[in-house]
Amino acid sequence: MKWIALLAAAAFAASVLCSCDVSDAVSEDASGVGSAAPDTEASAPQATPEASAARPETPASDPAETAPAVVRAILLGEDEAAPEGCEEFHDYDSAYRVRILFTTDAAVREFTFLGLTFTGESDGTLRFETEEIYTADVFTPEHPVVIGMTFVGAVPDRGICYADADGTEHYLSLDLSGKDGSLLLTEFKPS
């Protein structure tokens, strides 16, 4: 009887760990590409190697000047070459390292790869202390960035941040879905 109780407890714990509430962070568009944006309807990410970070639009007289940039993250295959003209940075060496191609549809400033230390949660938003690991010299549609990194543990330990053309900073953790292995970008607040 004790093993049945232990099995039930383990199943409950697994369901809690795998059913993360990402209602404020991840949604998908009609193409199935996940996007991290506040105030979006929650839905499970599709089995896709892409994730993107979009921000809500701000009112403006000229939408072309203030339209928010979209940053996309795409898992590259082991033998897949990075596009020409991109910077490439590799975190520590590991047999489990993956390469992620980051692209944008508009120039962003201070695109930085971060080390994260979880500090807690408030109002449904994760909080992390951040440490700058790498900052791209240029990050534009013509000059994407490839980051080589390893996913370790259940809590994200790597992320990115960047500033819009208007100077607004955005912080996103990098994680893999426990449901389908797709790449997730989840907005967080730095501590």
Output the pLDDT for position 50: 52
Residue with tokens 């900073």: 169
Report the b/e string of 22-32 with b at 16+ CB within 10 A.
bebbbbbeeee
Range of the domain at 82: 21-190
60: Cα separation from own chain's centroid: 27
Count the helices and strands in the chain (H runs, E runs). Answer: 2, 13
**How many Cβ atoms are within 10 Å of 77's Cβ, its own excluded?**
9
Query: Residue 143: pLDDT above 90?
Result: yes
Q: How confident is the model at residue 124 (pLDDT cuts 50, 70, 90)?
A: confident
Number of domains in the chain: 1
Q: Is residue 49 part of a domain?
A: yes
| pTM for the model | 0.67
List pLDDT tens digits, range 12-40: 333 333 333 322 333 333 333 334 333 33
List pLDDT tens digits, range 53-64: 544 443 444 444
Q: Is residue 7 part of a domain?
A: no
Q: Tell me the β-bridge partners of 35.
A: 27, 52
Q: Is residue 32 part of a domain?
A: yes
- Name the more confident of 85 and 36: 85
